[in-house]
Amino acid sequence: MDKLMRELQSDLCAGLEALDGKGRFGRDEWRREGGGGGTTRVLLDGAVLEKAGVNFSLVHGHLPEAFAKEIPGSGTAFTATGVSVVLHPHSPHVPTAHMNFRYLEHGDKRWFGGGADLTPYYFHREDKEHFHGVWKRVCEEFDDVGDYPAWKEACDRYFLLPHRGERRGVGGIFFDYLLVDDGARRARVAEFVARAGRAFLDAYVPIAKRRIGTPVTEAQRRWQEIRRGRYVEFNLLYDRGTTFGLRTGGRTESILMSLPPRARWGYGETPAPGTPEAALLRELQVG
């Protein structure tokens, strides 16, 4: 799993550098007190990507007893490895995107989790259909592992801001606690994760290329920063990866890599009816 995740990190960085054309990912190796460490790779102020992170970690040790009881497995000993990607583009016409795949061992249980989702600032149905189409095809290719309808629904439930009555974005796939205590099953799911991880570029790059050249106004940039505020709210209040990292003594700088470089919170920010901004909210609102 260590080898798989490291290779995935390298492939994703190479593909995103090719998309950006200017920026390059730095490399920050770190060690975790208590066991393990990782490699944080961040690209800042590229031509397309304002901030992009592709993180690898392999950590081990003991969970706090209360937290250990909240997840499958026995005892407190654990090992976890994974790759997490967050992309914040300069242009408000290019969506933010996230992907994460992880493997955990906790006592007598082993499982995978992960997924990918798209967070646009302006809604385009063809972008949503392309993004979902890639994940649907990957799940169908591994139909003994993937369940696109169920994982799509789980994604919509998970990436939800209940205090806003909004989904964070237009979804994708999400799964967790996919148990793989059998060795053959673990190998098969690992094969799926390797394929799905690389499919992230297929899902995102064509959308970014389609939107890069759209002119940007100051008002659109301001709207992007308001919507980025929603992204921050979700990651700090509800995201399981953030919670897991902070509660297991993870490296704070790497965990909070997911946050955008600029965001804002106004007061009573409501777009005018009939505007593209209002159209996005109609797509994201629930209930």
Percent residues over pLDDT 90 in the chain: 89
Confidence of residue 30 (pLDDT cuts 50, 70, 90): very high
- Is residue 93 part of the annotated active site? The answer reads no
pLDDT tens-digit series, residues 111-153: 999 999 999 999 999 999 999 999 999 999 999 999 999 999 9
Name the residue with tokens 């919509």.
156
Structure tokens at 113: 């989790």
State residue 281's pLDDT score. Answer: 97
Complete domains list, the chain, with CATH = 2-284 (3.40.1500.10)
pLDDT above 80 for 287? no
Distance CA 1, CA 18 (A): 26
pLDDT tens-digit series, residues 168-223: 999 999 999 999 989 999 999 999 999 999 999 999 999 999 999 999 999 999 99
pLDDT above 80 for 40? yes
Question: Looking at the chain, which runs of residues are DSSP E strands?
Answer: 28-31, 36-44, 49-62, 77-89, 96-106, 109-119, 160-161, 166-167, 171-179
**CB neighbours of 130 closer than 8 A, spacing ≥ 6?**
203, 206, 207
State residue 255's pLDDT score. Answer: 87
Amino acid identity, position 231: Y
The residue annotated as part of the active site, out of 90, 93, 98, 132, is 98
Residues paired with residue 229 on neighbouring β-strands, in sequence order = none
Helices within 103-182 (DSSP H only): 125-141, 148-158
State residue 254's pLDDT score. Answer: 87
pLDDT tens-digit series, residues 227-281: 999 999 999 999 988 988 888 877 888 889 899 999 999 998 899 999 999 999 9
Number of Cβ within 10 Å of residue 274's Cβ equals: 8
